[in-house]
Amino acid sequence: MNEGEIFGLLGPNGAGKTTTVGMLTTRVIPTEGWARVRGVDVVAQPTIAKQLIGVVSQSNTLDRSVNVWENLYFHGRYFGMNAREAHTRADESLELFRLTERAHADVATLSGGMAQRLMVARAIMHRPQVLFLDEPTAGLDPQSRLALWAILGELNDSGQTILLTTHYMEEAEQLCRRVAIMDHGRLLALDTTEALKRSIGADTVVTVSSDERLDELARHIEGMEKVTGVHVVDQQVRVALSGSNGILPRIIGYAEDGGFRVTDLSVAEPTLEMVFITLTGKDLRE
């Protein structure tokens, strides 16, 4: 990872994203190989590595025995701040993350979005070199998700290096400049989002809906000119192709010539989702 970037680790559930983050955050001991954060070997020197990282894990790990403000205060103390410093920083963090009003609330009473904000506030309180977020917006309502994206964007603008894992394509596309795509514990691709999209050799993705025989329709369309990939996803046929001029009538005509009835069509630019489907032959949500 480069300093100051937001790096995305993208893959379906069970792809090994959480395990990868676990290794980098000293929680999972690699069976072989090594893991380094900013040059520090996390297996040999976990106590040093932990000082360099901030972690927002998938589940809510706020300390239920103490209130909102104390969650931050004690985090500061764990990381070596003295009482006064931790006090000031806890106040500042609550202000920054718009949680001051809830300072003395029980953490169990926070909404999902607020709990997530508090976890991010806590994770960056000791100014980590790298902030790790594991599926940060899973389970959040759309509004809270947008709010968290804004927060992460601002943190990154101020120089915070961020690694996030996600199985939401939009999230990776929205936030990350570079993305690694994983499946079954293996790294399939690593590049900027633009380069990954170019890598599938298409500039247009057409989604074709039909009532019936989707697999046959997909095979039929594969025979069309300039088509670089066809996949059946979500009861639709995704067609990747280069050159978009007059493409819709051509597809309808081609499909009807083959005896298929097209019920709906839409055109879009290639997305990371298409990259993933091309690499693995399956949908991210599967």
User: According to the binding rule CB under 8 A, does residue 74 interact with other proteins?
Assistant: yes
In angstroms, give the least distance from the CB of 129 to other proteins: 6
Q: From the CB of residue 141, how many other CB atoms can be counted at a distance below 10 Å?
A: 12
User: According to the binding rule CB under 8 A, does residue 138 interact with other proteins?
Assistant: no
CB 60 within 8 A of CB 119: yes
In angstroms, give the least distance from the CB of 161 to other proteins: 9
Name which position in 1, 5, 51, 283 contacts other proteins (CB under 8 A): 51
Residue (64 or 282) nearer to other proteins, CB: 64
Structure tokens at 108: 């169990």
User: According to the binding rule CB under 8 A, does residue 68 interact with other proteins?
Assistant: no
The contact mask relative to other proteins for 89-118 (x = CB under 8 A, - = no) is -------xx---------------------
Please tell me what DSSP assigns to residue 153. H
Residue (100 or 129) nearer to other proteins, CB: 129
Name which position in 8, 11, 128, 229 contacts other proteins (CB under 8 A): 128
Element holding 239 (H helix, E strand): strand 236-241
The contact mask relative to other proteins for 158-197 (x = CB under 8 A, - = no) is xxx-------------------------------------
DSSP SS3 for 249: helix
Stretch that binds other proteins, among 78-86, 196-204, 225-233, 278-286 (CB under 8 A): 78-86
Residue (133 or 240) nearer to other proteins, CB: 133
Distances (CA, A) of 77 to 69, 88, 163, 217, 230: 13, 12, 25, 62, 55
Sequence-ordered list of residues with C-beta below 8 angstroms from that of 281, at least 6 positions apart, any chain? 231
Name which position in 1, 5, 77, 173 contacts other proteins (CB under 8 A): 77
CB 247 within 8 A of CB 206: yes
Strands 130-134 and 161-166: parallel
User: According to the binding rule CB under 8 A, does residue 44 interact with other proteins?
Assistant: no
CB 238 within 8 A of CB 214: no
Sequence-ordered list of residues with C-beta below 8 angstroms from that of 59, at least 6 positions apart, any chain? none
Q: Which residues bind other proteins (CB under 8 A)?
A: 19, 22, 25-29, 45-48, 50-52, 55, 57, 59-66, 70-71, 74-75, 77-80, 96-97, 122, 126-129, 151, 154-155, 157-160
